Amino acid sequence: MTRFSNLGISDALENQLKKDGIDTATEIQEKSIPLILEEKDVIAEAQTGTGKTLAFILPMLQKLVVAEEAIQGLILTPTRELALQITAELTKLIEAVPEAKILAVYGGQDVEAQLKKLKKSIHIVVATPGRLLDHLRRQTIDLSQLKTLVLDEADQMLHMGFLPEVETILSHVNEERQTLLFSATMNSDVRKLAKKYTDKPENIKIKAKSITVEKINQLVILTTDRRKQAALKAVLKESQPYLAIIFCRTKRRASTLNEALQSAGFLSEELHGDLSQAKRERVMKNFREAKLQYLVATDVAARGLDVEGVTHVFNYDIPHDVESYIHRIGRTGRAGEDGLAVTFAAPKDQIHLDMIEKGINMKLRKEQSDVGPDDPKPNERRGEGGRPRGGRSSQKARTGEKRPSERSRAGNAKSARPRKPSKRPR
């Protein structure tokens, strides 16, 4: 196993990694970090889950000159969720590079707040193509002194139709920059992009591995935006999760859904960035103690969340990239228990569903929801401790019905009803 210091990474950065429990480099990190530190262009084919984010942010931070008040690093990524994940990884390491300034730029943010931050010295920008292009047109971001450009998840960016935006952005970038392209797949479009914008690149390919979690049964419920809330309530009543996390894309959607679930009698709470630290800690304590049954959360708020006993994950809003999908569903099926991940998909979500299936190398089982928009409230109100009063609604469940087979559990949310885990959440 290779230590990061052996790859040329500073002791300060290596110590920050150790604080996060990371001691040795993965294959993609071992092969790419020395090349990036040597200022070579790199084209890397590596799946999500291989450690590719650290492969490019570590050398970027290492090479940063904080005394230079200019944007030196740009990480271009297809989705808001991925931009936030990369920014979070950079933030963890920032103690090792005092005075380094990082900014995430993506749609849905307060533009005025972004403009205020951009008036200060920024060294690294993590951005989605659309919002970055908006800033370039406003001339509020200057990339003329850029040293390192990263195109992350290049295949997803092209699949989502961002090629025109990417090419326009690259026309604003310093031609002498270093270019790093990371992609889970290397199709002809990605190769054309790489050939056009890299100079004598080093090619790295990491052998694909299975990145799905064996003990997680994955199901897609096909519905519409108008019927999605009713479809979720129907699945919650039918499957009776012990503990479940319900993911929403934004804080506003998490709050709206949580209010609807509480009004319908479900024991739920919301978890997002607008909560005070005290409220967040209280919500998490109640969830760990199973006083709550459902946690309605955003991706960022749930980062690092590790609760024993989570039996279900619901993607109320489909993730827009493979990495977010894997991070979400990986929160169930832990500690030897089986889990179920249910994704609700409207017709407009098909592009993201295709992307997820391609990224995890499998077709997901799909069921059409026949639930209408005016879904009645649950038959039973929830009692204290997060469980329905009187036990499960099914007589079979009360009399100790055995678990269904793996095949039936994967194919139907009703048959996927889990047992209470052997251990109580801590």
Best CA proximity match to 301, nearest among 320, 281, 315, 321: 281
> Under the phi-then-psi rule, with left for phi > 0, alpha for psi from -120 to 50, and beta for the rest, what region is 240?
left
Best CA proximity match to 323, nearest among 35, 75, 77, 70: 77
How is the beta sheet containing 294-298 ordered, strand by strand? 268-271, 294-298, 244-248, 312-315, 339-345, 216-222, 365-368
Domain 4-205 identical in fold to domain 216-411: yes
The CATH class given to the 4-205 domain equals alpha beta
C-alpha distances in Å from residue 232, one per residue of 164, 246, 266, 374: 37, 10, 12, 12
Cβ proximity of 328 and 319 under 8 Å: yes
Three-class secondary structure of residue 238 per DSSP: helix
**Cα distance between residue 203 and residue 43, in whole Å:** 5
**Cα distance between residue 134 and residue 107, in whole Å:** 10
Domain ranges of the chain: 4-205, 216-411
CATH classification of 216-411 is 3.40.50.2300, yes or no? no
Q: What is the pLDDT along the chain (426 residues), one digit of tens a residue?
A: 789 999 999 999 999 999 888 999 999 999 999 999 999 999 999 876 788 999 999 999 999 999 998 999 999 998 887 888 899 899 989 989 988 999 999 887 777 777 778 878 899 999 999 999 999 998 999 999 999 999 998 988 888 889 999 999 999 998 899 999 999 888 899 999 999 999 999 999 987 655 555 568 999 999 999 999 999 999 999 999 999 999 999 899 999 999 999 999 999 999 987 888 688 889 988 998 899 999 999 876 666 566 778 899 999 999 988 878 888 888 886 555 678 999 999 999 999 999 998 888 788 999 999 887 754 444 433 433 344 433 333 333 333 333 333 333 334 444 444 445 444 344
Cβ proximity of 118 and 140 under 8 Å: yes
What angle separates helix 129-138 from helix 163-170, to the nearest 10 degrees?
A: 40
**Cα distance between residue 380 and residue 260, in whole Å:** 16
What angle separates helix 80-93 from helix 322-329, to the nearest 10 degrees?
A: 70
The values of phi and psi at residue 194, to 5°, are -65, -45
**Cα distance between residue 91 and residue 87, in whole Å:** 6
For the whole model, what pTM was predicted? 0.64
